[in-house]
Amino acid sequence: MSTLAAPIPMPAGMPEGPRHVAIIMDGNGRWAKARGMPRTAGHRRGVETVRATVRAAGELGIEYLTLFGFSTENWKRPLDEVNFLMGLLRQYLRAELETLAKEGARLRVVGDRDGLAADIVDMIKTAEERTRANARIHVSIALNYGGRADIVQAAQRLATAVAQGKLAPAAIDEDMLEGCLLTRDLPELDMLIRTGGEQRISNFLLWQSAYTELVFTNALWPDFSKADLEHAIAEFRRRERRYGAVAG
């Protein structure tokens, strides 16, 4: 785990990648506070960064990008802020759909949709269907998502199958549980970036992060740039991923 600083050169012979990158987009509120603005101004600027980051990820060859948009814990925030965030989500889905479609981006949402407003769920379905055939970059937005809840719902699905006599408990393995997660259609998570200087994963993709490379940057999310993403990729490529084995 590291904090990004100067560019890190990629050693000769290191593998390419990452293929799948996730980002915890942290620091909107602090960005706004430092400028004497309301927190909502930081969130609005953060949406612009989402737009730029999706484009940059595609240009840098990232195939899958997963963004932590709204967690199950974010409902604890002030109601006015939650309502503003939901409004921004509506604006993003309306404004960006055609751009994503034209740029070959497939959009999908992972999380508990039962907790979202009906019109937002309808907009998500429309966006997913409109971009389903795209394959240049797969963009997943985690909404009303929690890593622990994801594992619990997967365990419940397996427990139901056992109770119905369709599955033997001894047959349950890691692959089977992973196949019940909300992210089951996504490949292995290679790198998780967190902006804003904090060094924790905040209940995001807990199962999926078992062997993920963690990269932390002090850049607040509204300031996160293509150069910061390039720094993170360079950091990823200089690491040796051993998955518990001993280095050769």
Binding residues for substrate: 27-31, 39, 43, 71-73, 75, 77, 194, 200-202
Q: At residue 7, what are phi and psi to the nearest 5 degrees?
A: -55, 140
Which entry of 74, 134, 203, 218 is annotated as an active-site residue?
74
Which residue reads 């740029």 in tokens?
103
Residues placed in the known binding site: 26-31, 39, 43, 71-73, 75, 77, 194, 200-202, 213
Strand order in the sheet with 137-145: 105-110, 137-145, 64-71, 20-24, 191-194, 213-216
Could you confirm whether 223 is annotated as catalytic?
Answer: no
Indicate the angle between helix axes 79-102 and 118-130, nearest 10 degrees.
Answer: 20
Which entry of 26, 150, 190, 228 is annotated as an active-site residue?
26
Residues placed in the known binding site for Mg(2+): 26, 213
Contact 20, 186 (CB under 8 A): yes
Could you confirm whether 203 is annotated as catalytic?
Answer: no
In 3D space, the residue among 12, 116, 41, 117 whose CA is nearest the CA of residue 71 turns out to be 116
Q: What is the DSSP string of 193-206?
A: EE-SS----TTSST
Which active-site residues does the annotation give?
A: 26, 74
